[in-house]
Amino acid sequence: MTASAVITAEEAVAHIRSGDTVMVGGFGLVGAPLTLIDALVDHSDATDLTIVSNNIGEPGRGLGKLLRQGRIRRGISSYFTSNPEAVAAVNAGEIEATLVPQGTFAEAIRAAGAGIAGFYTAVGAGTQLAEGKEERLIGGVLHVLEDPIRADVALVYAARADPLGNLWYRRTARNFNPVMATAATITIAEAGEVVPVGAFEPESVVTPHLYVDFLVERA
């Protein structure tokens, strides 16, 4: 897409339907699209969601709010532990958990956005997290085949965006946002600040606008 519409958070989350897989950026709450998450919590009835996010928020914060509403069917994450309520929900059988090593998680999302059908990595090979996956010796080292992780909708946060949808991230709030922006059918970016087209040096654009479908300003 060449131009990203600036819409409200409420309009944005209308793109999320029940049963969808939704990617959500952030490392903990840092770099998480909190305005979009709040809109999903307050203005959407979509349920039975698969959430792809490094963490399922914190208790009652970020995605932790959505968890309390019982709208998450499955979580794909590297670290559920930062929200003890998510761990409890998994243990109670209320949500399904898929635990993925953090680098494999990031790379699987990158692969989905880059048209890569899967990749072999030594990370996780020979451990519980490789169970049910193809393992193969490559160069004498055991590797595990990892599938790409894609989503119907990605919710990302960038400190600055221009109206085309070019994104710039600040410090460690970048984390999973740039790869998630590439790996979903619809990418919605929440921007801390919308700057005019041409305000970015082209070299400083981290996510080129073709990945971004809709822009929302942070509340």
Partner 1 sequence: MSGDLKSRIAERAARELHPGEIVNLGIGIPNLIPGFLSSDSRVVLHTENGLLGVGPRPPEDEADPDLIDAAKQPITALPGASYFDSAASFAMIRGGHIDVAVLGALEVSARGDIANWAVPGKDVLGVGGAMDLVVGARRVIVTMTATSSRGEPKVVPECSYPLTATGAVDVIVTELSVFRLRGGELYLTELLDGVTLDDVAAVTTAPFTVSLEESHAR
Residues within the interface to partner 1 (CB under 8 A): 27-28, 30-31, 54, 77-82, 84, 86-88, 90-91, 97, 99-107, 109-110, 121-124, 126-129, 142, 159, 169-179, 206
Q: How far apart are CA 89 and CA 85, in angstroms?
A: 6
Nearest approach, Cβ of residue 37 and partner 1 (Å): 16
Strand partners, 193: 160
Nearest approach, Cβ of residue 170 and partner 1 (Å): 5
Q: How far apart are CA 8 and CA 146, in angstroms?
A: 36
Task: Closer to partner 1 by CB, 44 or 107: give it.
Answer: 107
Q: Are 212 and 184 in contact (CB under 8 A)?
A: no
Task: Closer to partner 1 by CB, 114 or 199: give it.
Answer: 114
Strand partners, 158: 191
Task: Closer to partner 1 by CB, 31 or 165: give it.
Answer: 31
Q: Are 187 and 212 in contact (CB under 8 A)?
A: yes
Nearest approach, Cβ of residue 55 and partner 1 (Å): 8
Nearest approach, Cβ of residue 3 and partner 1 (Å): 24
* N-terminal to C-terminal alpha carbon distance within the chain: 25
